[in-house]
Amino acid sequence: MSHPARRSALILIDIQDSFRHMPFWSEADLPAFRQAVLALDAGCRARDIPVVHIFHVGAAGPFTEASGHVHAMDWLPGAPAATFHKHTHNAFTDTGLDLWLRRRGIDHLIIAGIRTEQCCETTARVGADIGYSVDFVTEATLTFPMTHAGSGRSYSADEIKAHTELVLAGRFARIVSATDALAALE
């Protein structure tokens, strides 16, 4: 499917070393996530689609700039078109990303990164609300099991991803594979 008037950008959210220092970090799903992200990155760069890195800067722990962990994971290619630091869950509120995208005529976002249900989902929702079309590449997002504070029920990463797809699809984003996201750029 071709979108000749559409201009795209790949938004890679929080693929940063900070997560490796969190108690919930697990490498179980990392190989598949890495493969999908690298395919998107290479495919977008080959098509002259800008790749944007977003990093979360927090007030404590491994997300502080002083920690030395707010940088790309070692396997993520460098030289993005732009890098933004955020202090909220979405990549827009305090970063200048929206202005950067609009100045370049970009109206379509491909979202990937860490955590599926937090910063990736929130960025997709805000992006859609402010007028971007959004492709959410779930296989190129990473999350971790969580336990509900009230019920004590544990949710697997796959259950969290399925819920995220459910609430985004058709409302805020098109849910696609990395292959389909890249094919839509042809």
> Does residue 2 fall inside a structural domain?
no
Residue 1 lies in a domain: no
Q: Is residue 109 part of a domain?
A: yes
The confidence score (pLDDT) of residue 1 equals: 46
pTM for this predicted structure = 0.96
Q: Cβ distance 95 to 122 under 8 Å?
A: no
The span from the CA of 105 to the CA of 121, in Å, is 23
Q: Is 90 a member of any domain? A: yes
- Residues spanned by the domain of 62: 8-183
**DSSP-based three-state secondary structure for 14:** coil
98 found inside a domain = yes
What is the CATH classification number for the domain harbouring 49?
3.40.50.850
pLDDT one-digit tens code per residue, 89-147: 999 999 999 999 999 999 999 999 999 999 999 999 999 999 999 999 999 999 999 99
The one-letter amino acid code at 100 reads W
What is the rounded end-to-end Cα distance, in angstroms, of the chain? 7
The count of structural domains within the chain is: 1
pLDDT category at 5 given cuts 50, 70, 90 is low
DSSP 8-state symbol, 117: I
pLDDT in tens, 17-71: 999 999 999 999 999 999 999 999 999 999 999 999 999 999 999 999 999 999 9
Q: Which residues pair with 134 in a beta bridge?
A: 109
Q: Which two tokens stand for residue 72?
A: 């790309």
What is the structure's pLDDT at 4? 52
Helix, strand, coil percentages in the chain from 3-state DSSP, rounded to 5: 35, 25, 40
